[in-house]
Amino acid sequence: MNMEKSRVWFITGASTGFGRELAMAALAKGDRVVATARNIAHVRDLEERYPTHVRAVHLDVTHLTDIHMAIEIGVTTFGRIDVLVNNAGYALFGMIEDVNEVQIRRQFETNVFGLLNMTRAVLPLMRKQKFGHILNITSSLGIVGLPVFGIYGATKHAVEGFSEALAQEVAGFGIKVTIVEPGSFKTDFASRSLILIKPTPAYSPVHDALSRAWRDSPAGDPTKAAQAMIQVVEAENPPLRLVLGADALGMIRQKFNSVLTEQMQWEDVSLSTDFDDPTRAILRVAD
């Protein structure tokens, strides 16, 4: 493939899981990859196998200096960044009352602020190029709140919220944004990217039931997930949201149906808060 026509991917958390699968799928197409990880040794093998198509870079997304240096290395190596994949992150598995403040803040530092800072740092480059695609990997739990995953889900809800706004802000610059919402997939997420918090005894029944359900749920194929993301990037009109997996699709559809049903049941109360005189409803904002 002509190097000038091949895409340049910048993937955070490229050592394992979705990041690794996506890097391999992109390389199989002849694209180039900036493969980043907190431990650069875990992505060196990619650079060794594809020396002209991969640049392995150390990156901890919670450090701004790492972010800017990694972008500089990627652009110096390949000339541009076509696709940013915000994949780095981890999950807290614990009841909201049981997770301490330090654990909560660390979760948000990586999953929200790290991802947000990574995105903000790439935007000037993509605006100058007048093209680019940002894939923000969230979760079905970014739409559906579940016990035990409350804090993790909150970080993914946050990414969903600003990604939806970002897509509208950058559309005029030729930049596209897709929120990727996976369900359960057969990766090493549970062993590598999951912190388990022992529950207070009162919460044990809920905690244990959710743990069993999550452990026993069918998992999707991460290789197929990578191909789905490739398909989105190649699409002329990519979706704002891409749900991955039958379990995620079922959960999200059930959530939206439930929300709509509840809104209809309480519609009269919702509308009862409007002014009777429409002229009083005009909101004037000071200059």
Burial 72-95 (b: 16+ CB within 10 A, else e): ebbbeebebbbbbbbbbbbbbbbb
Catalytic residues: 152
Tens digit of pLDDT at every position of the chain (287 positions): 455 579 999 999 999 899 999 999 999 999 999 999 999 999 999 999 999 999 999 999 999 999 999 999 999 999 999 999 999 999 999 999 999 999 999 999 999 999 999 999 999 999 999 999 999 999 999 999 999 999 999 999 999 999 999 999 999 999 999 999 999 887 665 556 678 888 999 999 998 888 787 777 778 899 999 999 999 999 999 999 999 999 999 999 999 999 999 999 999 999 999 988 887 777 666 65
pLDDT given at position 284: 66
pLDDT given at position 1: 45
Distance between CA atoms of residues 89 and 230, nearest Å = 20
pLDDT given at position 170: 98
Distance between CA atoms of residues 43 and 21, nearest Å = 12
User: What predicted TM-score, i.e. pTM, was given to this entire model?
Assistant: 0.92
In the chain the domains, ranked by start, together with CATH numbers, are 8-246 (3.40.50.720)
